[in-house]
Amino acid sequence: MYVIQINRAGKTYDNGTIAVHPTSLNFEPGTFNAILGPSGAGKSTLLRMINGLETPTTGEILIQGQTLTAKNLRQMRSRTAMVFQQFNLVGRLNVMSNVLTGRLYYSPWWSSILYLFGKRDWKIAQWALNRVSLTEKAWERVDRLSGGQQQRVGVARALAQRPEVILADEPVASLDPVASEEIMELLREICRQDGITIVANLHQVSLAMRYADRVIGLNQGHVVFDDSPQALVNDTLGTIYQREDGSVDDSLEMAVTD
C-alpha cells in the first residue's frame, strides 16, 4: 500500500489563482522524495494539502488508504509530521518542551494547555532528542541554539509524533552549508533506519541529487518531471525552471550552485 496517494488533487484560490493543477502522485513507504521547482511552482501548497493545511478544490488525498477529510483531520495529521523552513519553535521555551509539543496530537485539550504529559510522552521525547543528538541541550532555551540545532529540535518534534511521513518544507533554506548537509544526512538516516517516508521541498538541485530516491519537478502547478535523481540533466532542469516566456528562472542558478 502507498503511504500517500494524491488522486487528481488540485488547489485553486478564491481569486482564481491555480496553485496546483489536478495532480496524481503516489509515495511508497520508506522513500526519500524531493520536490524541486521555482518559487510559485506550487511546492508548498502541495505539501500543505498532504498535511491538511490546505483543502484541495479538486480530487483527494489519501494517507495509508484513508481519505483526508475535515472529520479525520486531527487523526491524519498525527501521521504526517511537518518540518518548517523557519523552524516554528517557541523560543522562550526549552528544547524538551518544544519536542513534547509533538505529542499534543495524542493528548486531551486540557492537558495540552497546561503542558501536562504522561510518562510515555516523556520517554518518546527523550528518545527523539537522542535520535537527533541533542540530549544534552534538553533544558536550554531554544532561542539560544544555533540554526542547525534549532532545526534538529524541529526534526525531534516531528519524530515525537511517531509519524509515517515527514513533510519538510525547505528544511535547510535558512541554514549554512555545513548545517544543511547535517540536516539532510539526518533526514536520510531517519528515512533509511526508521522507515519514515520523507517528502521534502528543496531549492538546491545538488542536495536533491545526493539524498533523494526520487525527484518530482513542479512548474506553474504542473508535475513536469518524476524520476530518479540520475535522470536530472540540463534539459530536464531547464523544463522544471522554465518561465512562461521561455526563459529559465533565476533560481535554477541558485539551485545548482548553492
pLDDT in tens, 125-139: 999 999 999 999 999
Mean pLDDT lowest among 62-71, 79-88, 155-164, 232-241: 232-241
Q: How many CB atoms lie within 10 A of CB 250?
A: 12
Q: Which three cell numbers mark 39?
A: 518559487
pLDDT in tens, 156-186: 999 999 999 999 999 999 999 999 999 999 9
Write down the pLDDT at residue 169.
95
Q: What value does the mean pLDDT take over residues 66-94?
A: 92
Q: Please enumerate in sequence order all residues whose Cβ is within 8 A of that of 64, keeping only pairs 6 or more positions apart, or say none.
A: 1, 3, 79, 164
Decide: 80 and 50 in contact? Cβ < 8 Å: yes
The DSSP bridge pattern shows strands 222-227 and 214-219 to be antiparallel
What is the CA angle 252-256-258, rounded to 5?
110
Write down the pLDDT at residue 108.
66
Q: Tell me the percentage of the chain whose pLDDT exceeds 90.
A: 81
What mean pLDDT value characterizes the chain?
92
Domains of the chain: 30-39+70-257 (3.40.50.300)
Q: Please enumerate in sequence order all residues whose Cβ is within 8 A of that of 148, keeping only pairs 6 or more positions apart, or say none.
A: 175, 176, 178, 179, 182, 183
Q: 174-183 as b/e, with b when 16 or more CB fall inside 10 Å?
A: bbeeebbbbb
Write down the pLDDT at residue 199.
98
Q: Is the pLDDT of residue 93 over 70?
A: yes
Q: Is the pLDDT of residue 145 over 60?
A: yes
257 or 151, greater pLDDT = 151
Cα–Cα distance for residue pair 116/124, rounded to 1 Å? 14
